[in-house]
Amino acid sequence: MAFGNEDRPDRADLAQVAFDELSGLVRNLGGELAAFRRRALQAEARVKALEEAGGGQAYNAQGRINDLERENADLRARLEAATDRTRQMLDRVRFLRQQHDLGGER
């Protein structure tokens, strides 16, 4: 099956089609780039707002979590020490009460 000259796409037509496709891709890429730029600017604005809200310090959630975990561990240790001291005092009171009760029976 032989093509006549009028049935075959012209090289100029193929080049135009390829150029049109490329132009469309570049436009889409430009739109996506603009969207990413907007998102980056919004993210930078949020970081700046968080830094300003934190008294000029960078917002550091992990650092805050670590600080709170250390404080929690310290408070648990202090609570355990206070519990031990309370038990000791209660044992002394019981001992004194027993001594008093024994002394009163004689």
How many distinct structural domains can be found in the chain?
A: 1
In a domain, 39, yes or no: yes
Residue 47 located in a structural domain: yes
Give the residue numbers spanning the domain of 49: 12-59
Q: What's phi and psi for 3, nearest 5 deg?
A: -90, 140
Q: Does 3 reside within a domain?
A: no
Average pLDDT on 38-42 reads 95
CB contact set of 59 (below 8 Å; sequence gap of 6+): 47, 50, 51, 53
CA count, 13 A, side-chain hemisphere, 72: 6
Q: What is the pLDDT of residue 6?
A: 57
Q: Is residue 78 part of a domain?
A: no
Give the per-residue pLDDT at 1: 46
* Residue 66 located in a structural domain: no
Q: Is the pTM of this model over 0.75?
A: no
Return d(Cα 51, Cα 39) in angstroms, integer.
18
Pairwise CA distance, residues 13 & 4, whole Å: 16
pLDDT digits (tens, 9 = 90+) for 46-98: 988 877 776 555 557 778 889 999 999 999 999 999 999 999 999 999 999 99
